[in-house]
Amino acid sequence: MFRNKTILDQFSALETPFYYYDLDLLGRTLDAAKRAADKRNFHVHYALKANYNDRILEVIQSKGFGADCVSGNEVQKAIDMGFGADQITFAGVGKSDKEINTALHHGIFAFNVESIQELEVINTLAGQAGVTAQVSLRINPNIDANTHHYITTGLDENKFGVPNSELEKAASVLRACANLNLVGLHFHVGSQILDMNVFKSLCVKVNEWKTWFEDRGTYIKVINVGGGLGVDYKAPDENPIPDFEAYFDVFDRFLERNAQQEVHFELGRALVAQCGSLVSKVLYTKSGIKKHFLIVDAGMTELMRPALYQAYHKIERIGEYQKGTMLNYDVVGPICESSDCFGKEVELPISKRGDMIAIRTAGAYGEVMASRYNLREEVRYVYAQ
Ligand code: LLP
């Protein structure tokens, strides 16, 4: 994608580093997801935490997605960007009173509640505001998503959701809370999941819990199964759009439900990861005894995933080059930390100061996780239609 010379000419005039967002690919990805979801009457809330860049949100909102938020500011942002309050969910283990009040004020669709204490706090605040809060109970399904341990969320040892052992108590607290209306159950097992069996296991567990509640006379209208669908970091050009059909099909086949029950999703990464790349310029090249370094002007401050999770991102040279003159480089940034490294032994054409590279699949959890560490510049971005 970044091999042609035209793109190099366009980029040469811009100050690096910057995020490059391909809005055409974003649109096609969203259309594919929406088509596959609509066909099955599934509702998709976009997880803002993956990327809340204005233009990206505009496109996502215009395609009719709901919003999944994890802070009061994200709820406000979703409202400001035109997402309907009735399509907004608010999750998170540590919602502050201020954030809860923001969400109550806007009358969002549902709080995904993560503890018994939180149920009680939302009940009190809703009472004070004179409103009824709609809640979904987040249950920790204790499923191993087999992904990086930092992004596994559905295990007993993780801080998320109400554990099985507390369900009985949660159900009775819910009955006692006059200002709460239980709309559904919420689950989320982790992120960057490519093995569809993980989602199948989730469905099996969800069915059990739904029955558990129904046996006790509690009707569950909404089953929210969270997000987590992964993308192909290794081959972004070959697989730019995730297989939404296969993903939704698992839930369609294995989730037991009647015609009135709704299935909701909270996809982040799968919708936005492939449309973004971090573009950077080579500042210096350096060769040690065993190593060749490419020192680029982007760092962990712009894209933290490799430093934080040892995440792989494909790195490629922008523009045309002669095949056959390749070298293995450690591609590193300018930040004063050894972990500021985008990739080790990356095969690239022999490079010189001023050459440009693209770090691919950076549309999700890239720009939003940027920091000003080392008093770096605010991260920049450009869009291509
Ligand atoms: N719903 C809940 C409750 C979540 O915790 C998350 C992500 C999502 C939905 C969206 O998941 P997705 O569809 O994007 O997998 N910073 C990490 C990823 C953290 C994910 C946190 N939760 C990374 O860069 O890989």
pLDDT at 12: 87
pLDDT at 385: 81
Coil, helix or strand at residue 307? helix
**Residue 87: domain span:** 23-272
**163/300 same-domain check:** no
Q: List the chain pLDDT tens, one digit each, 385 residues.
A: 787 788 888 888 899 999 999 999 999 999 999 999 999 999 999 999 999 999 999 999 999 999 999 999 999 999 999 999 999 999 999 999 999 999 999 999 999 999 999 999 999 999 999 999 999 999 988 887 665 555 555 556 677 889 888 999 999 999 999 999 999 999 999 999 999 999 999 999 999 999 999 999 999 999 999 999 999 999 999 999 999 999 999 999 999 999 999 999 999 999 999 999 999 999 999 998 889 999 999 999 999 999 999 999 999 999 988 777 899 999 999 999 999 999 999 999 999 999 999 999 999 999 999 999 999 999 999 999 8
**154/141 same-domain check:** yes
Domain count across the chain: 2
**90/174 same-domain check:** yes
**97/131 same-domain check:** yes
**326/357 same-domain check:** yes
Closest ligand 1 atom, residue 266 Cα: 9
Q: Which of 339, 303, 274 is nearest to 17 (CA)?
A: 303
**37/73 same-domain check:** yes
**255/309 same-domain check:** no
- Domain end point (choices 223, 256, 272): 272
CB 150 within 8 A of CB 308: yes
Closest ligand 1 atom, residue 304 Cα: 24
**265/278 same-domain check:** no
**49/189 same-domain check:** yes
**297/249 same-domain check:** no
CB 383 within 8 A of CB 21: yes
**214/298 same-domain check:** no
Domain holding 241: CATH number? 3.20.20.10
Candidate from 266, 267, 302, 361 with most ligand 1 atoms within 8 A of CB, to mutate: 266
**126/51 same-domain check:** yes
240: Cβ below 6 Å to ligand 1? Answer: no
Domain holding 369: CATH number? 2.40.37.10
- Ligand 1 centroid from CA 369, angstroms: 12
Encoded amino acid at 212, one letter: W
Q: Which of 18, 44, 9, 7 is nearest to 362 (CA)?
A: 18
